[in-house]
A = this chain, B = another copy of it.
Amino acid sequence: MSEPVVERLALIGIGLIGASIALNAREKGLARHVAISTRSAETLARAQALGLGDSYHAEAAEAVRDADLVILSVPVGACGAVTAGLAGALKPGAIVSDVGSVKGAVIAAMAPHIPAGVHFVPAHPLAGTEHSGPDAGFAELFVNRWCILTPGEETDVAAVETTRRFWQGCGANVETMTAEHHDLVLAIVSHVPHLIAYNIVGTAADLETVTQSEVVKFSASGFRDFTRIAASDPTMWRDVFLTNKDAVLEMLARFSEDLALLQRAIRWGDGDTLFDLFTRTRAIRRGIIQAGQDTAQPDFGREHPKKA
C-alpha cells in the first residue's frame, strides 16, 4: 500500500458507485479516513454494517468537514441541492467532485454553490451494473474502465491531478474532455442505448397478441440482453434524460432516421442494405474486444449449465 492520495475522503451518497469507491479507498489505502453520508438513515446503517467507512454522518455537512476530497454519488437531479447543503462546511483547498452521467447540467447546478478557494473537478466513471444500493458495490467495478474528468479551463491543475490519481488508484483509465463533448459522447454510447432498451421492454410488455409470460419465456433469443439495461436504476436514468435533453434528442433523431431506412429496406425486400450494415456492425464489435472493453467469450461469457 502506497501513500494515500488524500487524507480525508467524504462520500456523499453510498449506492452502487459510492460503495465501490469506498471499497477501493479502504482496500487500496487511497484515503486515511473515509467519511460517509447519505440521505436515508436505513442506507447509512447498511453502509456501516458493511464496514464501508471510518465515520458515518446523517448530515452531509458533517461528513465533508475537513475533507480533502468530496465525491457526490447521488442522482444527477439531486447534485445541486446536495451541494448547496454542504458547501458552507467545505474547507479551503478542498476538492469537490461527482460521478454524474451528465456533466453540463450537473456543473450548472453545482458550480454556483462551490465557495471560492474550493476546487470543482467534475468526474464520470463509466462503470456500473444493473444493480443498485450499497450491497451492489464491489472493488473491481472500475478496473480498466474509463473515468472522464471535465474540469473548467480555469480549474487548479493540482486538484485535477489529485482527482486523476484517485481514480487511477481505483483501477480506472482517466481521460479529460469538455463537459459539452462528454454529454454528446455519452448520449450515443450510453443514454440512447438505455432509452431504446427501456422502450422495447415496454413495447413487449404492452402487446395483446403475445403474452407477457411468452416474452419472459422466450427472452433468450435477444430480448433478455435489453432487459438487463432496462433494469437500471429508474431515478438515476430519469434524471439523465431530463438533464441531457438536447444531446439525447439529437442522437435519438439520428437513430430514428436510420431505423426508418432499415424499415424501408425490409418493406421493399432490399437485402443488400441490410447485409451491408450487418457486416459493418460486426467489425465494431471486434474493435471493442480488441480495445479490451468487452470479453471475447461468446454470449458475454454467460454460464451455460450442463443440465437444468
Contacts and interface: CB of A to CB of B under 8 A. Distances in A.
A140 B306 contact: yes
Which 4 A-B pairs give the minimum distances between C-beta atoms? A129-B298, A234-B278, A231-B285, A190-B221
B140 A223 contact: no
Interface of A: 101, 126-131, 136, 138, 140-141, 143-146, 148, 171, 173, 175, 184-186, 188-207, 209-210, 212, 214-232, 234-235, 237-239, 241-242, 245, 248-249, 251-252, 254-256, 258-259, 262-263, 265-267, 269, 271, 274-275, 277-282, 284-288, 291-295, 298-308
B205 A298 contact: no
A204 B188 contact: yes
A209 B238 contact: no
Contact of A231 (B204, B239, B281): B281
Contacts of A141: 304
Given A203-B188, A302-B301, A305-B143, A228 B262 contact: no
Contacts of A280: 202, 205
A253 to B, nearest CB: 8
A292 B307 CA distance: 12
Nearest to A265: B241
Given A194-B222, A295-B303, A203 B238 contact: no
Contacts of A287: 212, 216
B190 A127 contact: no
A269 B242 contact: yes
17 contacts: A129-B299, A146-B220, A186-B221, A189-B204, A190-B222, A196-B200, A198-B277, A198-B281, A216-B284, A219-B291, A224-B294, A228-B285, A232-B278, A238-B271, A238-B278, A294-B302, A301-B303
Given A285-B130, A307-B171, A279 B234 contact: yes
Contacts of A184: 209-210
Contact of A189 (B194, B196, B215, B303): B215
B171 A308 contact: yes
Contacts of A279: 234
A263 B299 CA distance: 31
A226 to B, nearest CB: 6
A263 B194 CA distance: 13
B219 A245 contact: no
Contact of A200 (B192, B217, B223, B263): B192
A258 to B, nearest CB: 5
A217 B304 contact: no
Contacts of A173: 308
A193 B223 contact: yes
A9 to B, nearest CB: 21
A198 B205 CA distance: 22
B218 A282 contact: no
**A128, A202, A263, A279: residue with the most chain B Cβ atoms closer than 10 Å:** A202
A183 to B, nearest CB: 11
